[in-house]
Structure 1
Amino acid sequence: MSNTSDPIRGFEAERTDRISGYGDQRGWQASSLDWLKTAFDRKYMYNFAWGGRPIIQLPTDMAVFQEIVWATRPDLIIETGIAHGGSLVMSASLLAMLDYCDAVESGGVVDPKTAGRRVLGIDIDIRAHNRQAIEAHPMSTKIDMFEGSSIEEPMIRRVHDHARTFERVLVCLDSNHTHDHVLAELNAYASLASRDSYCLVFDTVIEDLPEGTFPDRPWAPGNNAKTAVHEFLKTHPEFEIDQEINNKLLISAAPDGWLKRVK
């Protein structure tokens, strides 16, 4: 029922009630999964850019990521997997928006070179042309990049040392999507996510797509990011799947991957 005394609260209550029913819409969910199968076959998610850099994400996931950043207001976003750098640029631009809004509210100014919010990208192989393009981008003033395996102990220590001076941390895992690799990343980095923030795990949808969808990759149904998420959650009650996000997206590469830290 809507709250007529506060139109926004009424709108939000109606939205929550509407979304809660999506989980029972089996036909709609099946249609969405069929659409996603075709999208992966046709490389639909390769069609988009953020700030001029290719971003291999679904637009729906990008929209919800923006909602999470706005709600959690992190001062550090950690991302495993860099590719062309579009996701780093998106994260940096959203943090710059938060900087700007803080300045407006306080009556101050923003100096892009000294604003404290940062993005950290980690990749086992940052190709020279991608590094050059990212470093030439105006948002590079907010971006740091570490090259090396995300699951090797020296890198894990380096990332934890880097994160130590930040108060609100958001973690995004989007590199190698095999079960063992994602589980290792979860064990290495999920604890860095602040309470009421998130550890986001992408490409969990692999579990729901037909065998053979990724013939040239080591991940497949039974061996992927979603199986790792559910294994991780068995022993980490401090995280829960955000079911409202999980239900409302329908078109997403990250079903069950929206992990909110609740403890």
Structure 2
Amino acid sequence: MAAADDRLAFEAHKKEMSLALGKDEDAFRQSLETLVTLDKYDYAYLWSFMGVPIIQMPADVMATQEVIWNSKPDVIIETGVARGGSVIFMAAMLQLIGKGKVIGVDIDIRAHNRDSIEKHPMSSRITLIEGPSTAAETLAKVKAEIPEGASVMVVLDSDHSRDHVLDELRTYGPLVTEGQYMVVADTVLGWADSSQTPTKRSKIWRAGDEPYAALKAYMEESTRFETDEALNGKLVLSSSPRGYLRCIKAA
């Protein structure tokens, strides 16, 4: 006897549990404490994607691939290239989908990191633009790479200070097309108290001067985005809780 087709029920249960997890403050606080412990071992720096370092939490990589697979953007813009693993990961997702490109923007793309990206098998789906992410000249170069009518997703993962992230949100938010996502990375900094703030960094961002503070300010300005409650609900052991915004209105 054939088993019943339970795919819809399975997905419904996933959503129910994700929403419930998102309301469990104790689970979130336990997750945050675990992240603080793991940071002693540079946990976010221990991973690679297709041979290139990807400075991300595994939960965020999984969440991002769900977004890309479901929304199938033509263009993904990421501010903050670092060592290149994230742009390669997103390019690989687009390769699987069979279309699109990633535009990586960074104020300083170091020669050895550029070499890793440009020699990678996914390089044909990646365009690198060096310059301050919110500068008019940089934005003009980014816009020139977006085909007319393309669906556009944005990931903000560069300087994590509040004012800079808010500037990026105002700069790149209008580029996101209806049905696509804008991801604000490292929002977890806004949930940490002074004893939990990561200090093994070249810069230290404390609560109030970090991406989540910028996100909250931007959401008071914009009516084009909503928080994806189910997706964000399951983002424990994540650097970007509540950082996944869905565009619900055309620009």
- Is this a same-fold pair by TM over 0.5? yes
Distance 1:174 1:41 in 2: 21
One of 174, 178, 181 as aligned partner of 1:195:
178
Could you tell me whether the CA contact under 8 Å between 2:19 and 2:233 is conserved in 1?
A: yes
SS at match of 2:221: coil
One of 216, 227, 231 as aligned partner of 1:241:
227
Distance 1:9 1:18 in 2: 14
Distance 1:236 1:224 in 2: 19
Distance 1:239 1:155 in 2: 24
Distance 1:24 1:18 in 2: 10
Confirm or deny that 1:9 pairs with 2:8.
Answer: yes
Q: Which residue of 2 aligns with 1:230?
A: 216
Residue segments in structure 1 that go unaligned for 5+ positions in a row: 100-115
SS at match of 2:237: coil
Greater CA drift, 160-169 or 47-56 = 160-169
SS at match of 1:159: helix
| Percent of matched pairs sharing the same residue | 37
Distance 1:23 1:141 in 2: 38
Distance 1:190 1:20 in 2: 26
> Could you give the per-residue CA deviations for residues 139-196 of structure 1, whole angstroms, max 9, x where no partner exists?
1111100000001111122212322435111100000000010001111111111111
Could you tell me whether the CA contact under 8 Å between 1:81 and 1:123 is conserved in 2?
A: yes
Q: Which residue of 1 aligns with 2:164?
A: 181
Residue segments in structure 2 that go unaligned for 5+ positions in a row: none
Q: Which residue of 2 aligns with 1:110?
A: none
Moved segments of 4+, more than 6 Å:
none
One of 130, 147, 167 as aligned partner of 2:150:
167
Aligned AA (1:51): M
Displacement, 1:80? 0.3
Confirm or deny that 1:118 pairs with 2:118.
Answer: no
Aligned AA (2:122): M
Kindly report which structure 2 residues correspond to 1:1-263, keeping only aligned pairs within 5 A, or say none. 6-99=5-98, 116-165=99-148, 167-211=150-194, 213-215=197-199, 216-263=202-249
Displacement, 1:217? 1.2
Could you tell me whether the CA contact under 8 Å between 1:37 and 1:209 is conserved in 2?
A: no
Displacement, 1:5? 6.7
SS at match of 1:233: helix
Displacement, 1:214? 3.8
Distance 2:39 2:206 in 1: 13
Distance 1:137 1:165 in 2: 27
Displacement, 1:70? 0.4
Displacement, 1:40? 2.6
Distance 2:219 2:140 in 1: 23
Distance 1:166 1:95 in 2: 17
Displacement, 1:27? 1.9
Displacement, 1:39? 2.4
> Could you give the per-residue CA deviations for residues 187-217 of structure 1, whole angstroms, max 9, x where no partner exists?
1111111111101010011111232624441
Distance 1:33 1:50 in 2: 24
Aligned AA (2:56): Q
Displacement, 1:95? 0.3
Displacement, 1:218? 4.5
